[in-house]
Chain A
Amino acid sequence: DAGVIQSPRHEVTEMGQEVTLRCKPISGHNSLFWYRQTMMRGLELLIYFNNNVPIDDSGMPEDRFSAKMPNASFSTLKIQPSEPRDSAVYFCASSSGGEVTEAFFGQGTRLTVV
């Protein structure tokens, strides 16, 4: 398996624009997580899905953020409208679920909002 695949790797956009980040989890994994990483706050969980169903989105900062998982092999994180404070590295991770499992991370998307 190629691992967790995220696109794009880098995104530069103007404030107010819509941004869509994409993730393909590892085949067979039933849990998917979106994290955001900044120097100040480290890795923060935004939302996670289990069997394509959103379980906890309490980490989503505002209504400007939304996430979907239409099927087991694809998820999106959308920011609309984007703001400069959204600049960060966004990671998608997947795991096989269960009581104790490791998370497999993608390479991340570095988002810069100017």
Chain B
Amino acid sequence: SQKIEQNSEALNIQEGKTATLTCNYTNYSPAYLQWYRQDPGRGPVFLLLIRENEKEKRKERLKVTFDTTLKQSLFHITASQPADSATYLCALGSGNTPLVFGKGTRLSVIA
């Protein structure tokens, strides 16, 4: 069955450093991958999408890579700030099928 793993449940990082979150998957060939941010008591909010034929995508301080050979995506937040503290979810999609989500990584940026 499809399996999505996000590297760790929680990640603590010093303000100003780059946070790197990992999403690995097995038994799946996604056409695209999305990253979402979820704050406590709220629903996930879309951040970035990367397609299978793209290696890298950037948006402001965010960068996503997608390696279909390794079956892995990396999500980077550069110059991290306390306001970046949240849970980050990766989601895989293909065609018209619904997104399949990982459990998320809880990021804490410490001032």
Contacts and interface: CB of A to CB of B under 8 A. Distances in A.
Q: Say what secondary structure dominates the interface of chain A.
A: strand
Contacts of B32: 100
B49 A43 contact: no
Interface residues of A, number: 24
A93 B98 CA distance: 10
A26 B29 CA distance: 29
Nearest to A33: B98
B43 A108 contact: yes
Interface of B: 31-32, 34, 41-46, 49, 51, 89, 91, 93, 95-96, 98-104
Residue among A42, A45, A102, A107 with most chain B CB within 10 A = A102
Given A43-B89, A100-B49, A105 B31 contact: no
B99 A99 contact: no
A9 B95 CA distance: 32
21 contacts: A42-B101, A43-B89, A43-B101, A43-B103, A56-B98, A91-B44, A93-B43, A99-B95, A100-B32, A100-B51, A100-B93, A102-B46, A103-B44, A103-B46, A103-B91, A103-B99, A105-B43, A105-B44, A107-B41, A108-B41, A108-B42
B96 A99 contact: yes
A97 B93 CA distance: 12
Contacts of B89: 42-43
Interface string A48-71: 101000001000000000000000
A74 interface: no
A106 interface: yes
A43 B98 contact: no
Contacts of A107: 41-43
B34 A102 contact: yes
Nearest to B93: A100
B43 A91 contact: yes
B31 A43 contact: no
